[in-house]
Amino acid sequence: MLALLGLSGTAQQPQPGAGIKAYVSTSAPVIALTNVRVIDGTGQPARERQTLIMRDGMIEDVGDSTRVMPPAGAEVLDLAGRSVLPGLVMVHEHFYYPTGPGVYGQLGESFTRLYLAGGVTTLRTGGNLNGYMDINLKRAIEAGDKAGPAIDATAPYVNGRNQFQQMNTVTTAEDARQHVAYWAGQGATSFKAYMQISRAALGATIEEAHNRGLKVTGHLCSVTYREAADLGIDNLEHGFLAATDFVSDKQPDTCPGQALGQQSLAALDENGAAFKALVQKLIDKRVALTSTLTVFETFTPGRPMPPGLDVLAPSLKQQFEQAHARVSQNTTSNYVKLFPKAMALERAFVRAGGTLIAGTDPTGSGGVVPGYANQRQIELLVEAGFPPLEAIRIGTLNGATYLGRDKSVGSIGPGKQADLVVVGGDPSTTISDIRKVEIVFRRGVGFDPAKLVASVAGRVGLF
């Protein structure tokens, strides 16, 4: 290590602090990855036998091993048989989890480590139920005090009258303006509207957020996708599965119930005029759609157990296993039709030119485990019919572009931040290889996923 001092100038990233040292596998100022397959996140074909040079947290160069040579003094990692991808950029993440009836435990401390271990280097939280945790963790990670991804921190949900004990009630446009002003002032960098919001409150939320250069997404129900697009919303969550546009007697500003909306969707023809008109509206208004197939998979009978359950505290693991058993027995569930339909609708949206981004939504009945689920989400996009390179792009560059961070993250190239995932094998042909994470680089610091996971294993649910 000492021999490398002085190689870098004043721009050098801070060396890992005490809070993250335990998880770091390499933090040399100059690192060369050699003999590696590069999947650059843009959707371009994988390139074999590449060398990638990181210096002071940035990618200095990447190219054929015959052209790019490791600089003198660099730490060289021979990665034959492995692939390097951009760190995942995922946009429907949370720092809370269902821990008991009607109660969501605040688990940002363990979740941020699990996300990083899973290869997520940038995330947006998609609504929060804790007030300050998302914002405080964002700052602590940015300062290098904690291990985790870069965070786009949402404010607490913007919602109308609702049943959640941990949620604010925003009924008027004026309430919405105050909510946005307060949380933007506290450091929130995005907003999420929820199922009972009124059009007036949503419109005011969007206006106030946009005045501050911030974006708004929504998991809607009371407001249709078409109405939200016309109000200027930036993003809609859960693919089309939260759309109530096709409920026949839908009353304005009223949620007819998620189940009713989903029944109308299960019967929807993705090649029909009604759906195509909505898709065109979203494209015309530049509304991005977030795929969260992971959470819907846990509601669908006949699907495998989700990955990562072993890190949960035993009581939470047991709680989910019971939920999974109940789901498995309910073979007449609407999700039997709805889950493949969700995939077909997302595919049709992209084929028509829509922007799809990805997230996991670790809520539901508790089986969506951060980090593991992000890998699973990419696998499910492939199952939905996207080629692996396109699925990877949806989970990397598309997310970064939506967040306005694509100049620095979401793809691999000279001048980009060194946020990278090294995996065994070749996910461009075998997507499940995306689970074989060996090193995760954040701003050029290499983290050991096994150490991150070990620091929380069996206790996820407590902190």
Q: Where on the chain is the footprint of Zn ion (CB under 5 A)?
A: 126, 361
User: In angstroms, rounded to a whole number, what is the distance separating the alpha carbons of residues 43 and 393?
Assistant: 6
Nearer of residues 370 and 446 to Zn ion, judged by Cβ: 370
Shortest distance, position 94 Cβ to Zn ion, whole Å = 6
Question: Which residue, 154 or 198, has its beta carbon nearer to Zn ion?
Answer: 154
CA distance 284 to 292: 23
Greatest alpha-carbon pair distance for the chain in Å reads: 72
Q: Rounded to an integer, what distance in angstroms lies between the CA atom of residue 397 and that of residue 381? A: 15
Q: How far is the CB of 237 from Zn ion (least distance, A)?
A: 6
DSSP assignment letter at 417: B
Residue 274, classified by CB atoms within 10 Å of its CB into exposed (0-12), middle (13-18) or buried (19+), is: exposed
Q: How far is CA 181 from CA 167, 187, 196, 212, in A?
A: 17, 10, 20, 9
Q: How far is the CB of 363 from Zn ion (least distance, A)?
A: 5
The C-alpha R_g of the chain, in whole angstroms, comes to 22
Nearer to Zn ion, 37 or 124 (CB): 124
CA-CA distance, 247 to 356, in Å (whole number)?
24
Neighbours of 315 (CB within 10 A): 12
Q: Residue 85 in contact with residue 59, Cβ under 8 Å? A: no
- Output the residue with the shortest Cβ distance to Zn ion: 361
Shortest distance, position 121 Cβ to Zn ion, whole Å: 20
Question: Shortest Cβ distance from residue 126 to Zn ion (Å)?
Answer: 5
Where does 211-366 show beta strands of DSSP type E? 215-218, 235-236, 288-291, 356-358
- Reading the block at residue 142, the tokens are 């940015």
Strands, E assignment, 11-55: 24-26, 30-38, 47-55
Main-chain dihedrals φ then ψ at residue 356, nearest 5 degrees = -105, 130
Task: Tell me whether residue 444 or residue 461 sits nearer to Zn ion (CB atom).
Answer: 461
Q: Shortest approach of Zn ion to residue 167 CB, angstroms?
A: 12
C-beta of 359 vs 410, nearer to Zn ion: 359
Name the minimum Å distance from CB 148 to Zn ion.
Answer: 19
The CB-of-238 to Zn ion minimum distance in angstroms stands at: 8
β-bridge partners, 357: 290
| 205 to 40, 63, 125, 184, 190: CA distances (angstroms) | 36, 45, 17, 11, 11
Pick between residue 126 and residue 399 the one whose CB is nearest to Zn ion: 126
Is residue 127 within 8 Å of 104, Cβ to Cβ? no
Indicate the residue among 363 and 375 with the shorter CB distance to Zn ion. Answer: 363
- Whose Cβ is closer to Zn ion: residue 290's or residue 417's? 290
Tokens describing residue 287: 């509304």
d(CA 148, CA 145): 10
Q: How far is the CB of 127 from Zn ion (least distance, A)?
A: 6
Output 83 or 292, the one with its CB closest to Zn ion: 292
| Shortest distance in whole angstroms from residue 95 CB to Zn ion | 11
CA separation, residue 98 to residues 74, 103, 166, 461 (Å): 45, 6, 12, 9
Complex with Zn ion: residue 128 or 401, whichever CB lies closer: 128
- Looking at the Cβ atoms of 108 and 126, the one nearer to Zn ion is 126
For the CB of residue 357, give the shortest distance to Zn ion in the complex, in Å: 14
In this structure, what is the dihedral angle of CA atoms 438, 316, 239, 90, given to the nearest 10 degrees?
Answer: -30
Side chain identity at residue 433, one-letter code: D
